[in-house]
Amino acid sequence: MKADVAPKRHRVRRALSALVVVGTLALLVYSVYAERRSALLVIGDPSPQAYVTPVDLLVPDRITTERERQLAREQVPTIYSVDPTLQQVVLGSFAGAGLPEASIDVLALLYGGSAGVRSEQLGAVIDAAVAAAPAERQREVRVLLERRLVATATPNERLTEAARAGAAAAVPMRMQQLDAGQVVVREGETLTDEHLRTLEAAGLYSPQIDALGRTVLVALGSLLLALLLALPGRYAVDRLAVRLTPRQITFVIGVTLALLVLQRVAFTLSPSFVFILVVPLLVAVLIDEVTGVMWAVWVTVATAVLVPATPLLTLVATAAGSLAAVAGVHKVRNRAGVLLAGVLGGVASGTALLAMVLLGGGLSPIAAATAFGIFVGAGVLAGVVALGLLPVAESGVGFLTDFRLLELSSPSHPLLQRLLLEAPGSYQHSQIIANLVEQAVLAIGGNALLARVGALYHDVGKMRRPHFFVENQFSGENPHDHISPHLSYLIITSHVRDGVELLREYRLPRELEPFVTEHHGTTVLAYFYKRALEDAGSISELNFRYPGPRPRSKETAVLLLADAVESASRTLTEPTQGSIRALIDRLFDQRLQDDQLAQSPLNLRDVEVIANTFERMLTAVLHRRISYPSAEEIKGLRRDGRDPRRDRSLPAA
């Protein structure tokens, strides 16, 4: 039952992941194209077709109705409001102004009315008051009143507008008779607001339905395009699942989608700000350059989709920058080189832009130079972002990069320093093994750097009991002589388990653990098995085999062979090239006969290449040296009167 649950959960997780990817891509595409699809009918555009009423119907005649309502509004006069306080002030000022009684009576009559005096009536009021004054004072009265009189009735815009709106609203909607088959608008005719209103009233067109239809069409197109963009992801996930954990795959895809979203936002600032090349750059560093190129192609297409205004230019610039950044990774040997790879990608993108401008024009020299600078700046940003994400990918997600391997191969690493101090013989053994493995793996096309680092750490477990291993027994005493072969077997094989524990204690990458667990495979500890047979007479060799597993990669398989050959080569009394090759062939045959390489991808040609590499390197390491004479021998020869240079025999070749 439990066996069925795990695959089901795996399928559910994959389905949810695919849904998230497609949904994110669809939203990105929709955000670009939602506003670009125009309405079916737009005022001022030619009608795409002729519209004819299907049946007799009455439709609102908005032009006639609006004309009558405008007339109704114009017939409503301006409404004035009287300020009572101002009215009393003006009336009170007449008594002390020294005006003739007749003029005061006229002013009191006019200003005392409920309608007040408007500004346009002031001239008539002054004329009436002047006419009532004696002839000899009329000039005086006019001058005085022109300075003192003010209007007490002012226009009330709020009441006036309310009255006019009420008058317009009182006019009913006028209807227009449309006969069946009557043409509302002809094909190609310029559309007006009245056309759209008539079509809407006739049920031939609806802005809401048109907007909904446009939304549905754009959403459907975005979904289809997102599905097409996501299709390569199925192949990529299947290809990466062999090498990466689900967590690592999720990280790569998540970073890709997140940076695509940020790139979409960046395009609103400038179409030249293309920093998405950080994705293939990061993939090339974390996985390999071939995968980085694949990612570059996909990212290029996805980015071009997000810039419908200049898709070709974006396609060329992004492709050039991404591929250049991936190519730059090939020469990178330290973390700072990632920044240089990003800069190289930005320069390549800018150069591609200049090439397109030279071919097709479209930008002024100043604009082209500005765009080139933006592309380079985006490349710098891509390098910085990649540098920032590398520690997260290495420590948080478990990616093993070449930068991390180079750091682990340094002799100053704390675990290697500890191995040197506590088990110096094992340290020297690991150094020689590392050189053998690195060259052999390089010759057969494996990961030479990973193999070297794995070889450096494969025997760290011997630090727990260093004196039980012959390379660390400097005093000549072997503690195994005093214990049973069964206990010796447990002590010797425990260095595998102890090595794994030390790797985890020092938080070293999990990729190094197979080098510890597989470097002996399931081989027999022949020395202790022989002793056990001598003691007990009959015992199964299974009791004296390493727990394994057997090597499952090229790198660990080469380590198994190198470990056996290097250890055995120390027993050669005459390490000539022939004896070294004979030893290598014998040990290789034993491992092949014992099926120790059955689970590894090595073939017979690889085994031959490995043997040749070991022969060449061990011959150089174990070469014979000249026996140099001591100082006493030289002095003795001089006392005898002999010339040591003349009588010296040449060493054998």
**Residue 653: what pLDDT?**
38
**Residue 626: what pLDDT?**
63
Which run of H or of E encompasses 177? Answer: strand 175-178
**591 contacts 466 by C-beta, under 8 angstroms:** no
Residue 650 in this model has a pLDDT that exceeds 70: no
Q: What is the CA radius of gyration of the chain?
A: 48
Name the H helices within 246-335.
Answer: 246-267, 278-286, 289-305, 311-329
Residue 1 in this model has a pLDDT that exceeds 50: no
Lowest mean pLDDT among 23-27, 49-53, 148-152, 492-496: 49-53
What's the pLDDT tens digit per position in 410-427?
999 999 999 999 999 999
Q: How open is the CA angle 487-488-490, to the nearest 5 degrees? A: 65
Closest to 335 (Cα-Cα) out of 390, 295, 374, 281: 390
* Residue ranges per structural domain of the chain: 1-40+206-230, 80-155, 243-399, 413-621
**28 contacts 260 by C-beta, under 8 angstroms:** yes
DSSP annotation of 580 reads H
How many other C-beta atoms can be found within 10 angstroms of the C-beta atom of residue 208?
8
- Identity (one letter) of the amino acid at 330? H
**Residue 202: what pLDDT?**
65
**Residue 652: what pLDDT?**
43
Residue 119 in this model has a pLDDT that exceeds 50: yes
**Residue 180: what pLDDT?**
66
**Residue 442: what pLDDT?**
95
What's the pLDDT tens digit per position in 375-404?
999 999 999 999 999 999 988 888 998 889
β-pairing, 57-60 vs 175-178, is antiparallel
Question: What gap in Å lies between CA 547 and CA 68, rounded to an integer?
Answer: 102
**Average pLDDT of 192-207?**
69
Is the domain covering 413-621 a CATH 1.10.3210 domain? Answer: yes
Total residue length of the chain: 653
**Residue 301: what pLDDT?**
93
Do domains 243-399 and 413-621 share one topology? The answer is no
Q: Class for domain 243-399, per CATH?
A: mainly alpha
What's the pLDDT tens digit per position in 303-361?
999 888 788 888 999 999 999 999 988 777 678 889 999 999 999 999 999 998 888 87
